[in-house]
Amino acid sequence: MKHLLVSLLLLTTLSVGSVSAQNDSQRIESAKIGYITNRLNLTTEQAPQFWAIYNDYNGKKKDLNRRVRQLMGENSRQGVQKLNDADLLNQLKDINASKQKIADLDDEYMPRFLKVISPAQLQELYKAERDFNRRLLEKLNTNQD
């Protein structure tokens, strides 16, 4: 009985932590949607079309950025001194290839965005993403202090 109680308590604690992380992620996404919508001044006609394109684009971009971070993390975990020049060069090429894929993704999605929003709004989107990420990092750093 005691083990069952401890197990339930542990399971509840883990579930609450998972829900909390999900809530934080959802709050961040909601804040980002509001921030971008306001910055782009999307009309009611533009918004649904824009968000359909953006969600697809952003998912692919997140995957590529994750790959870049993973590759860069491998460099630091393995230690640059432990790798030979050929291995280091291959990792650097992989990082650059992933960064190029991000640039290619921007080129691929530009015409899609421009069917829905103006060039000025697209430029504002790129600025809004940078600003939102910068503000989020500042807030996270402030909360850790």
Q: What tens digit of pLDDT does each residue of 85-104 get?
A: 888 899 899 999 999 999 99
Q: Answer whether 53's CB lies under 8 Å from 113's CB.
A: yes
Q: Answer whether 61's CB lies under 8 Å from 102's CB.
A: yes
pLDDT (0 to 100) of residue 78: 57
Compute the average pLDDT of residues 59-77. 86
Predicted confidence (pLDDT) at residue 12 exceeds the cutoff of 50: no
Which has more confidence, 131 or 23? 131
